[in-house]
Amino acid sequence: MVDFAGWKMPVQYGSIVEEHLATRRAAGLFDVSHMGRLSVTGPAAIDWLEGLLTRRVEGIEPGRLRYTLVTGSLQGGGDVVILDDAIVSREADSPDGTPRLGLVVNASNRSRVVAWLESRLPAAGVRFVDRTRDTAMIAVQGPRAVEIVGGLCPAADAARIAALGTYRATTATIAGHEAAVSRSGYTGEDGVEIVVAAAAAEPVWEAIHVAGRAAGLAACGLGARDTLRLEAGMPLYGHELREGSDPFAIGLGLGVTLDGRSFPGHERFVDLRDRPRGRVRVGLEFDTKRAAREGGVVVQGDREVGGVTSGSFAPTIGRAVAQALVDRAVADSGTALDVVVRESRLPARVTPLPFYRRG
């Protein structure tokens, strides 16, 4: 157990490798309640978020999710930076037609994202609530995840969950508790994320854990979550994505809609899109299990050409992998590079992301 952004979080329940492989082969059960869950409602909710997020909010249909970035000023003002990446969702409208939306943000950035959004609230028309402490979030990932969760639901709810497309959401009764269910994932596997009232967290977790045992489900901690997302080529804020990142250079252009819009940092992003420059995100693959960690210097000959942002042994692949930011001149797939690890060099080659893609 470790402290993570004010939460006591499990790094591992047993073996990180076993938890990782259980997720790939059957299912992994993750407590992700540390993620921030924010509610935005009101007649002006869509227009308000439209001016604050990098991805278009107008036109999101109920039951849909979109990946986006949250841009804004640091405390005390100054340059506009990327405060976080997030998932924005459109829930079913209120009976009177009032829009209801949600944001899921990273635990380490929740306080500053909440502070920034509260500072931009209009005088009327928007109700903004941080629901993180009132709710819990459980992720079930893996090829048998939907089957396991569906077995705890009424038949109609199970069918609706099974029919969900990627980046879609619905509601269901799971183990007797009302839940919001989405299908976005962060492991490279199929699966669902479940949000329930905080008081329902333990019984829902236990029900899934018991129901999944025979199928090979394992409880998983932060360690396996990190190796899974690394194999899947997912960026992590504070590593691949930072305050001053160029989203187009790190493969997050899908989270930015520029034309016909305005949001904090819009002009800078237009410039970055139209005049590509700086280092780009690539995958590095090694012929050894020895991992190059964050901060490792990437070199070509005697010249520094980049730096590792995340690295680990990849259990599914059986060797070490890393994500790195490197000069564009050495970013082509197959390029031979070295990473300096404790004054020795680990040979690596540039490889396309993701390292792993489910069949």
Q: What is the CATH number of the domain that holds 58?
A: 3.30.70.1400
Q: How many domains does the chain have?
A: 3
The order of strands in the sheet holding 127-130 is: 64-73, 80-90, 100-105, 36-41, 127-130
Q: What domain range includes position 14? A: 2-35+134-231
Residues 78 and 94 in one domain: yes
Sequence-distant (≥ 6) Cβ neighbours of residue 157 within 8 angstroms: 150, 172, 173, 174
Residues 225 and 82 in one domain: no
Sequence-distant (≥ 6) Cβ neighbours of residue 293 within 8 angstroms: 308, 311, 312, 341
The SS3 call for residue 302 is: coil
Q: Are strands 135-141 and 28-31 parallel, antiparallel or unpaired?
A: antiparallel
Residues 126 and 42 in one domain: yes
> For residue 138, what is the domain's CATH number?
3.30.1360.120
What is the rounded distance in angstroms from the CA atom of residue 24 to the CA atom of residue 161?
20
The SS3 call for residue 117 is: helix
Residues 310 and 348 in one domain: yes
Closest CA to 39 of 100, 99, 114: 100
Residue 241 lies in a domain: no
Residue 270 lies in a domain: no
Sequence-distant (≥ 6) Cβ neighbours of residue 328 within 8 angstroms: 276, 278, 279, 280
Residues 196 and 125 in one domain: no
- Specify the pLDDT at position 243: 96
Sign for the pseudo-dihedral over CA of 302, 306, 311, 316: negative
Residues 158 and 221 in one domain: yes
Residue 69 lies in a domain: yes
Residues 78 and 210 in one domain: no
- Specify the pLDDT at position 79: 86
Residues 57 and 110 in one domain: yes
- Specify the pLDDT at position 273: 97
- Specify the pLDDT at position 76: 61
What is the rounded distance in angstroms from the CA atom of residue 62 to the CA atom of residue 54?
19
Residues 342 and 293 in one domain: yes
- Specify the pLDDT at position 74: 78
Residues 284 and 220 in one domain: no
Residues 190 and 332 in one domain: no
CB 189 within 8 A of CB 24: yes
Q: pLDDT digit of tens for each residue in the chain (359 aa)?
A: 999 999 999 999 999 999 999 999 999 999 999 999 999 999 999 999 999 999 999 999 999 999 999 999 876 667 899 999 999 999 999 999 999 999 999 999 999 999 999 999 999 999 999 999 999 999 999 999 999 999 999 999 999 999 999 999 999 999 999 999 999 989 999 999 999 999 999 999 999 999 999 999 999 999 999 999 999 999 999 999 999 999 999 999 999 999 999 999 999 999 999 999 999 999 999 999 999 999 999 999 999 999 999 999 999 999 999 999 999 999 999 999 999 998 899 999 999 999 999 98
- Specify the pLDDT at position 89: 98
Residues 48 and 171 in one domain: no
What is the rounded distance in angstroms from the CA atom of residue 70 to the CA atom of residue 54?
7
